[in-house]
Amino acid sequence: MKFIHTSDWHLGRQFHNVSLLEDQSAVLDQLIEYIAQHPVDAVVVAGDIFDRSVPPTAAVELLDQTVTRVCGELNTPMIIIPGNHDGAQRLGFGASQMKQAGLHIISNFKQMLEPVVLESEQAGQVAFYGMPYSDPEQVRFAFGADVKDYDQAHQVLVEEIKAHLQHAQKNVLLSHCFVDGGESSDSERPLSIGGSDRVSADHFRCFDYVALGHLHQPQQRSEAHIRYSGSLMKYSFSEQHQKKGFTLVTLDQNGFANAEHVALKAPREMRVLEGELDDIIARGKTDPNADDYLLVRLLDKHAILNPMDKLRAVYPNVLHLEKPGMLIGVEQQMAQAKLARSEVDMFRDFFREAQESELSSAQDQALSAIVKDLLKQ
Amino acid sequence: MKFIHTSDWHLGRQFHNVSLLEDQSAVLDQLIEYIAQHPVDAVVVAGDIFDRSVPPTAAVELLDQTVTRVCGELNTPMIIIPGNHDGAQRLGFGASQMKQAGLHIISNFKQMLEPVVLESEQAGQVAFYGMPYSDPEQVRFAFGADVKDYDQAHQVLVEEIKAHLQHAQKNVLLSHCFVDGGESSDSERPLSIGGSDRVSADHFRCFDYVALGHLHQPQQRSEAHIRYSGSLMKYSFSEQHQKKGFTLVTLDQNGFANAEHVALKAPREMRVLEGELDDIIARGKTDPNADDYLLVRLLDKHAILNPMDKLRAVYPNVLHLEKPGMLIGVEQQMAQAKLARSEVDMFRDFFREAQESELSSAQDQALSAIVKDLLKQ
What residues of B are in contact with residue A63 (Cβ under 8 Å)? Answer: 93
Distances (CA, A) of B157 to A22, A314, B228: 31, 48, 19
Chain A residue with the nearest C-alpha to that of B102: A97
Contact A64 B102 (CB under 8 A): no
Burial of A265 (0-12, 13-18, 19+ CB in 10 A): exposed
Does the pLDDT at position B167 exceed 80? yes
- Does any CB of chain A come closer than 8 Å to the CB of residue B72? yes
pLDDT tens track for B250-268:
999 999 999 999 999 999 9
The minimum CA-CA distance between B334 and chain A, rounded to whole Å, is: 43
Average pLDDT, chain B: 91
Asked if B240 and B271 touch (Cβ cutoff 8 Å), the reply is yes
B327 conformational bin, left if phi > 0, alpha if psi -120 to 50, beta if neither: alpha
CB count, 10 Å around CB of B351? 16
Asked if B198 and B192 touch (Cβ cutoff 8 Å), the reply is no
pLDDT tens track for B154-166:
999 999 999 999 9
Pairing between strand B170-176 and B103-105? unpaired
pLDDT tens track for B14-57:
999 999 999 999 999 999 999 999 999 999 999 999 999 989 99
Mutation target to probe the B interface, by most B beta carbons within 10 A, among A50, A93, A100, A114 is A93
CB count, 10 Å around CB of B372? 11
What residues of B are in contact with residue A67 (Cβ under 8 Å)? Answer: 94, 97
3-state DSSP of A157-214: HHHHHHCCCCCCCEEEEEEECEECCCCCCCCCCCCCCCCCCEECHHHHCCCCEEEEEC
Q: pTM higher than 0.90, yes or no?
A: no
Q: What is residue B175's three-state secondary structure? A: strand
Contact A67 B97 (CB under 8 A): yes
Task: List the single residue in A57, A87, A94 with the smallest CB-CB distance to B94.
Answer: A94
DSSP string, A33-85: HHHHHS--SEEEEES--BSSSS--HHHHHHHHHHHIIIIIIS---EEEE--TT
**pLDDT below 70 — which residues of chain A?**
194-195, 326-340, 377
Q: Of A198, A197, A230, A232, whose CA–CA distance to A216 is shortest?
A: A230
The pLDDT value given to residue B335:
61
Asked if B201 and B222 touch (Cβ cutoff 8 Å), the reply is yes
Q: What share of chain B is helix, strand, coil (3-state, %, to 5)?
A: 35, 25, 40
Provide CB contacts within 8 A for A262, sequence distance 6+. A34, A245, A246, A247, A248
Mean pLDDT score, B136-142 = 93
Q: Of A151, A37, A154, A49, whose CA–CA distance to A92 is shortest?
A: A49
- Does any CB of chain B come closer than 8 Å to the CB of residue A52? no
pLDDT band for B328, please (50, 70, 90 cuts). low
The pLDDT value given to residue A344:
85
Contact A90 B60 (CB under 8 A): yes
pLDDT band for B231, please (50, 70, 90 cuts). very high
The minimum CA-CA distance between B166 and chain A, rounded to whole Å, is: 27
Q: How far apart are CA B10 and CA A208, in angstroms?
A: 46
Angle, vertex CA B185, rays to CA B184 and CA B189, nearest 5: 90
- Does any CB of chain B come closer than 8 Å to the CB of residue A218? no
Q: How far apart are CA B224 and CA B210, in angstroms?
A: 10
Q: How far apart are CA A35 and CA B127, in angstroms?
A: 36
pLDDT band for B346, please (50, 70, 90 cuts). confident
Q: Which of A18-32, B218-232, B336-350 has the lowest mean pLDDT?
A: B336-350
pLDDT band for B218, please (50, 70, 90 cuts). very high
Q: What is residue A15's three-state secondary structure? A: strand
What residues of B are in contact with residue A102 (Cβ under 8 Å)? Answer: 97
Task: List the single residue in A53, A57, A71 with the smallest CB-CB distance to B90.
Answer: A57
Contacts by residues B27-34 (CB-CB < 8 Å, ≥ 24 positions apart) = B27/B232, B27/B233, B27/B264, B27/B265, B27/B266, B27/B267, B28/B62, B28/B66, B28/B232, B30/B264, B30/B265, B31/B4, B31/B6, B31/B246, B31/B264, B32/B66, B32/B69, B32/B70, B32/B74, B34/B4, B34/B262
3-state DSSP of A257-273: EEEEEEECCCCCCEEEE
Edge-to-edge strand order for the sheet containing A124-131? A116-120, A124-131, A170-176, A209-213, A223-228, A219-221
Asked if A180 and A199 touch (Cβ cutoff 8 Å), the reply is yes
Q: Which of A143-152, B65-74, B188-197 has the lowest mean pLDDT?
A: B188-197
What residues of A are in contact with residue B56 (Cβ under 8 Å)? Answer: none
pLDDT tens track for B100-133:
899 999 999 999 999 999 999 999 999 999 999 9
Provide CB contacts within 8 A for A249, sequence distance 6+. A2, A3, A4, A5, A209, A211, A256, A258, A259
Provide CB contacts within 8 A for B91, sequence distance 6+. B49, B50, B80, B82, B105, B107
